[in-house]
Structure 1
Amino acid sequence: MARLYVRRRVLIISSLVIILVIVLFQPRKTSHEYQKQPNNNHKETNTDLKHNLVMFTTWRHRAKKVHAREVVLRNWRHLSPKIQPLIFTKTGVLRDRCLAENWLVLPEDEIRCLNKIPTLRGMFNSAMSTINSHLYGFSNGDLVFAKDFVKSIEVILSDESLKNKPLLILAKRLNIEYRPYRNTAFAYDDIPRIAKQGEYPKEGSSDIFITNKLFPWKRALELVIGRMGVGMWLSAFARALNVTLIDVTNTSTVLHLTTDGNQESLKNIDMNCNHDIIKANNLTCDNFSVGFIDCADHATNYKQNGDIRIFKKQYFKSYCFKPAFYRFVDKIKARFSVELSNNYYEADFSTKGR
């Protein structure tokens, strides 16, 4: 009996030790790593709005970009808490590195094309259904921002006339040749000075896309980032549906850390993937210049006292309203059976200045 009692006691103690070890060493989920909840209505997991903007991106490993992405990680961290950085990735090392810089992390969800690239629509839907924010935005993963960008977003959010309108906020970048051993610092406060060395690309596409929850993502095609066609098609699509487009280029310093030229997407085997998706859905635009950032109906600039203002443009470039645009509008109307207001088209579309 004594021997049986001892055995039982040893067994009980061993069981308790095992349970204690499991509890102590069980992996804990960091508060910055979100578990996506299935939700088709885009309801948030938290009812308190915490951020002005959740800005997200996604990366593929490239040796040439390692140093530049370290700059991006630190720069975006400085935008917090008003702008919260987020990355979509399934790579453990990258996830851990981003978490260390107070980024949020979500897994890639909807992917398309030969190289299995996340769709812009899928990332927006995932972010909106998981994280509370006033605005949500995608940026290319090699862009850094100055303080004036944060202020521009604040001004837009403070404008009561925009509260109940679908928005698409756009900006062009300044290309800066990045050499890791020549200019590794890129301190947050130095960006306006460095920007004087940069130049805007000749084509008119935006490099960031920021929307509120009223933007019609449910009607957008499953276009992927980092391939031709996504930016100008999305802008033309938004214009066709009377979304309010705001160009913040005049009041936002955005630098593109160029490491491999400015036409990297042309080097990919699936570079025409977006064009193929657009054609398959019969939503081609005969001339993509109608999706140039110059065609945004609103823009920002500075008042004499240095404050930022938003204004409605009265003059547009001639290419913004080519017949190609109206043919595209007809395709959108036919596809989605939507009634569009004519108010948007009553401005003076002269080519004389703004």
Structure 2
Amino acid sequence: MKVKASVKFIITLTGCIGVLLYLGNAYLQRDDTDLPMQRHYFNYRQRPLNSQQNSLNSKMRPLNSQQGPLNSQQGPQNSQQGPQNSQQRPQNSQQGPLLTLFTTWTTTPERYDVYNNTLRNWPSLQPSINIIVFTNDVIPDKYKLLGWTIRPVKHQVNGHPVLKYMFLEAMEIQPMSKLYGFSNGDLLFTNSLIKTLHAVVNSPMLVNNTLMLVGQRMNTPDVSKEDAGSWKNITEASKRGTLMKNTLGIDYFITTPDYHWKYIPEVQVGQKLYDNWLVFDARRTGSDVIDVTRTLLAVHQDAPYPKHHGKMNHNRDLITENPRLLYNRGVVACSNLRTIKDGQNVRFKRPKLPRHCFG
């Protein structure tokens, strides 16, 4: 009886191993067909560690030495490493801003009030956040006095700015920033942005990870100058808004300095698919994509766009993936981490992703 039981156990175990090997091979084959740019990125990431580190040293900056809300056991000089990661970002004694945040726009009469609200709102985030606008329009000097850095758009296709070059230039303008981000010019923020980012840069579980932060916007009608005048008023105005679905477009992207912007195609903002493709690309290249919607209020000022907005499909020449694939996998709902409120603090949760994120 013991011999028969042993034989039965061995047969069952062998069958289970065979099934697992088959499923693993099928999963790898499916991923290979979906990653046409994988080889280029992975060749870069597989270079010798010293060579790769040297190429990133000018962009990778220290984490904030201040204690964050989740790091009650962390000393003022954090020497902890993230789980299963022995590589640390190089340390530097100088302190830079928490975030360098930039936007871009072409002014039209329909958007005057929107952009003026933004020009008044973003300076309230200083000194934690450095602010830049890339535009070929004339910005009044009074806004420069509020702390705005004004730069011309140097790289554009058919009038649409190329995102990667603005990220790279922002890194040159403020090389000490801990994070870099792009936002559409019609978003208003409160101190919830600062609190969320402090939690991110001070989290031991994220200390060495390459990150992309995204989130849903709050579509809010009739945002007045008074509404945009303070964080309290913005929060109150958002209560009449509607949260955009987490399977639709994305209006802001915040990344760590080591993000591979240099290798991103020349996708243009204000065009279709670039936002979904960026999230899709971040996921397939191993970055942590964090949904910060639950702790970061981003108020979208609903206002009409110009009637003649131009063609919206220029990015299709650069993006080879099927749009349906990007609309399924390149959305906020597919973020592998999310921030949530825990009293006055911010903590992280790993959600169960919907099936469309893999299909």
Structure 2 length normalisation: TM-score?
0.70
Specify the SS of the correspondent of 1:251.
Answer: coil
- 1:246–1:296 contact (8 Å) kept in structure 2: yes
Residue number among 274, 297, 302 corresponding to 2:315 in the alignment: 274
Provide the residue aligned with 2:328 in structure 1.
289
Provide the residue aligned with 1:8 in structure 2.
none
Residue number among 220, 234, 237 corresponding to 1:194 in the alignment: 237
CA distance in structure 1 between the aligned counterparts of 2:206 and 2:249, rounded to whole angstroms: 23
Q: Which amino acid letter does the alignment assign opposite residue 317 of structure 1? A: P
CA distance in structure 1 between the aligned counterparts of 2:276 and 2:216, rounded to whole angstroms: 12
- Residues 184, 158 of structure 1: alpha-carbon distance in 2 compared, 3 angstrom cutoff: closer
Q: CA deviation at 1:229?
A: 0.7
Provide the residue aligned with 1:66 in structure 2.
112
Deviations 1:149-205 (A, max 9, x none): 210011001112222211100011111112658x56542221221111000224433
Q: Does 1:149 align with 2:186?
A: no
Provide the residue aligned with 2:337 in structure 1.
298
- 1:98–1:105 contact (8 Å) kept in structure 2: no
- 2:97–2:130 contact (8 Å) kept in structure 1: yes
Provide the residue aligned with 1:14 in structure 2.
none
Specify the SS of the correspondent of 1:43.
Answer: coil
- 2:110–2:306 contact (8 Å) kept in structure 1: no
Q: Which amino acid letter does the alignment assign opposite residue 289 of structure 1? A: N
Provide the residue aligned with 1:50 in structure 2.
96
- Listed as ranges, the matches of 1:232-247 within 5 Å are 232-247=276-291
List gaps (5 residues or longer) in structure 2: 1-54, 62-91
- Residues 298, 154 of structure 1: alpha-carbon distance in 2 compared, 3 angstrom cutoff: same
- Residues 246, 184 of structure 1: alpha-carbon distance in 2 compared, 3 angstrom cutoff: closer
List gaps (5 residues or longer) in structure 1: 1-39, 323-354
Q: CA deviation at 1:89?
A: 2.2
- 1:137–1:210 contact (8 Å) kept in structure 2: yes
Q: Does 1:80 align with 2:126?
A: yes
Provide the residue aligned with 1:140 in structure 2.
184
CA distance in structure 1 between the aligned counterparts of 2:306 and 2:228, rounded to whole angstroms: 27
In angstroms, what is the RMSD of aligned CA positions?
Answer: 2.3
Q: Which amino acid letter does the alignment assign opposite residue 129 of structure 1? A: E
Residue number among 71, 88, 104 corresponding to 2:149 in the alignment: 104
Structure 1 length normalisation: TM-score?
0.71
Q: Which amino acid letter does the alignment assign opposite residue 319 of structure 1? A: H
- 2:120–2:143 contact (8 Å) kept in structure 1: no
Specify the SS of the correspondent of 1:51.
Answer: coil
CA distance in structure 2 between the aligned counterparts of 1:204 and 1:134, rounded to whole angstroms: 28
Provide the residue aligned with 1:223 in structure 2.
267
Q: CA deviation at 1:70?
A: 1.5
Q: Which amino acid letter does the alignment assign opposite residue 334 of structure 2? A: C
CA distance in structure 2 between the aligned counterparts of 1:243 and 1:41, rounded to whole angstroms: 16
Q: CA deviation at 1:253?
A: 1.0
Deviations 1:195-248 (A, max 9, x none): 110002244332110011111112211111111111111000100101111110
- 1:87–1:98 contact (8 Å) kept in structure 2: no
- 1:42–1:129 contact (8 Å) kept in structure 2: no
> Which one has more relative contact order, counting CA pairs under 8 Å at least 6 apart?
2
- 2:164–2:266 contact (8 Å) kept in structure 1: yes
Provide the residue aligned with 2:345 in structure 1.
307
Deviations 1:250-295 (A, max 9, x none): 01111000111xxx599522211112321xxx34454222101010
